[in-house]
Amino acid sequence: MTETSPPPKPARSAWLSPARLAATGGLLLLIVVLILWIAPSGGYDLQLVDAAHPVAPLVHIKGEQRAHGRGAIYFVDVRERPARLIERLIPWTRADGSSLVRSPHISSAIEQRLGAVQMSDSQKIAPYVALKYLGYKVGARIGGVGVLAVEPNSPAARVLKPGDVVVAAEGRRVMTIADLHGVLADKHPGDRVRLRFRRGSRVQTTTLATIADPQDPKRTIIGISPLQNLEVHLPISVAINAGGIGGPSAGLAFALDILQELGRNVAHGRRVAATGELALNGEVEPIGGVKQKTLGARRAGVDVFLVPAGENAQEARHYAAGLRIVPVETFQQALRKLATLGPKA
């Protein structure tokens, strides 16, 4: 009897080996991660923490009398960049302390121009408020808040156009962007606000619904990019070089530092960070990015953080982790509160 051998087993393809399958899977995963890292998020920005910076190197005053050993004033800023798709989908890939926010529905060129204009205005308002507090004769001229752009899907888009000038809100005269923000601070998104605006030589009245700020849902806006043509007249030369920093939120810090540089003991031996949009009447208006600014103040190791009173101060306390939060409503109140804190132990 002839013995027959079993048929040979089919050879396993080298491409189906466990090692090759694992390598292929790893390569595909790497490709997916790379795509998610490179791909834009589609309408989202990432707000990043930036450590607080001393104001003094930015401010130059004719006749300054800065006294040494009296502490320092710091400003806080929020860095922002377009978010990557992976950062939108997977929160732990975002930088520590960052926040994902919707991008504004305006072009980057308009956004940059708006930020530059707001910073320019804060550089004018801060010395105006500070020198007026010291008794100097100062002057200001402004004709309302211009409309640079309108949020396409906002209620304002059905009424306002670029080039219009808002001159009053809720019966209160609007001279500056801070004045407009002050009226809206009492509103909640969805509330209606009565506006008077100028279009050419004609003044009109309208009532429209407010909306939430896409970058700060607790903040109420009317859906415009505001612009103002502010002129101030000062008796002494005050120059503030903010570099590429934009926005209005350094106004309070600038004004405090101006007094400090003119010999007033504002900081009382402490490292004081401050944020808040400053109005011509000295009121401190709410700002955005409070989380990142509080973390930035902590990162710089300051002793005290002055923040607009209300929801801004409440949010700052949430991220304070021991940092002393001081809520303020006006420039004058900020000075009083700093004086009553006493010198640093």
pTM equals 0.75
**Tens digits of residue pLDDT in 160-175:** 998 899 999 999 888 8
**Residue 53 CB: number of other CB atoms within 10 A?**
18
* Nearest by Cα to 218 from 268, 286, 284: 286
- Given a contact cutoff of 8 angstroms between Cβ atoms, the answer to whether 226 and 177 are in contact is yes
Q: Residue 1 pLDDT > 60, yes or no?
A: no
**The pair of three-digit structure tokens given for residue 94, joined into one six-digit string:** 């975002």
Q: Which of 161-165, 178-182, 252-256, 332-336 has the lowest mean pLDDT?
A: 178-182
Domain 143-228: CATH class, spelled out? mainly beta
Q: Where are the domains of the chain?
A: 43-138+231-341, 143-228
Q: Which has the higher per-residue pLDDT, 345 or 270?
A: 270
Is the CATH number of domain 43-138+231-341 3.30.230?
yes
- Residues 58 and 6: their CA atoms lie apart, in Å, by 89
Measured N-to-C along each axis, helices 331-341 and 251-261 cross at an angle, to the nearest 10 degrees, of 60
Mean pLDDT over each residue of the chain, to the nearest integer: 84
**Residues ≥6 apart with Cβ < 8 Å to 310:** 185, 286, 327
**Tens digits of residue pLDDT in 67-116:** 555 789 999 998 888 888 888 888 888 889 988 888 766 556 666 666 67
- Residues 267 and 207: their CA atoms lie apart, in Å, by 44
